[in-house]
Amino acid sequence: MRRTLLVCSLLICACQGEISDLSQPGFSPPPKEPPAAPTQLRAQAISAFEVELTWVDASSDENRFVIERSTVEAGPYARVGEAAADATSLVDRGLSDLTTYHYRVFAENEAGVSATVTASVQTPRDPSIPSRPEKVMASVVQATTVQLSWSAATMGEVSGYRIYLRDVPIAETKETMYTDRFLAAGQQYCYVIRGFNSARKEGDPSEKVCATTGVAGVPSDPGGLKAQAVSDSQIDLTWMDNSSNEMGFKLERALNATGPWTEIRTVNADATSASDTGLNAMTVYYYRVRAFNEVGQSGYSDVVSEATR
């Protein structure tokens, strides 16, 4: 009997102690309901890689705010951060540029979670990424060689340029030109240029440019050579370009129709005229021209003559 009374006394004391603790200053009983949802969520990109989130705290009994993120509005969402009770902002870092992010925020306590509030934002372009190269040109400089040139990117950090052929990267250069050699004859080649920065991130592609390589073999003979004196020291020459695979033309001069002949100048592929200057007055000169490429030289044009004035 005495043992039973002792146990009861101890239980009563323990219960009185617990009741006494509930009455201590600062004690708050656990909430019976989840907190109210935050409101007015706002997402603002503060850089290409950071988004600042702000909201209004509409509850007084939350333990924390939970922030979730997705790149698809319908989800799935992943938890990317927490903010303490009474907080109204958070910065989400380590993002990608030019990407749309969807956020949702909710409050949480021992009783559960609130409804969510949502917001979306797109990060801007990384300012270090180069702008697109402009004025891209492709030209056949030999039968199986294509030369590319372009103007430098004007924005961003440019460490170099990457050349793409049929959407496959084939080379990198720090220059604003590139020569693609040993191509197949009579084929079209299309190129795109992209700048890249020190992190090797590429900018937007240039417009696509194409060039068709020439036919293998020596070029055809030029024709229709004409000579006209324009002064006492200059004769202008014109001819017909009869080939598509020449690297250029060689002009030769003599003082009679049988020679000896002297090469006086070389002009670029597709040229159809040239001037011979520094001549003697009232003198007859004879001319001929032929095309050349890496395979060899064409035959000569007809020989023509003209006298300076």
pLDDT at site 16 = 45
pLDDT at site 219 = 85
Residue 23 has pLDDT above 80, yes or no: no
| pLDDT band at residue 131 under the 50/70/90 scheme | very high
State the chain's mean pLDDT as an integer: 90
Domains and CATH numbers, the chain: 39-122 (2.60.40.10), 134-212 (2.60.40.10), 223-307 (2.60.40.10)
CA 135 to CA 186: how far, in whole Å?
25
pLDDT tens for 144-199 read 889 999 999 999 999 999 999 999 999 999 999 999 999 988 889 999 999 999 99
| pLDDT band at residue 3 under the 50/70/90 scheme | very low
pLDDT at site 28 = 67
What is the percent of the chain with per-residue pLDDT over 90, rounded to a whole number?
79
Residue 7 has pLDDT above 70, yes or no: no
pLDDT tens for 67-95 read 999 999 999 999 999 999 999 999 999 99
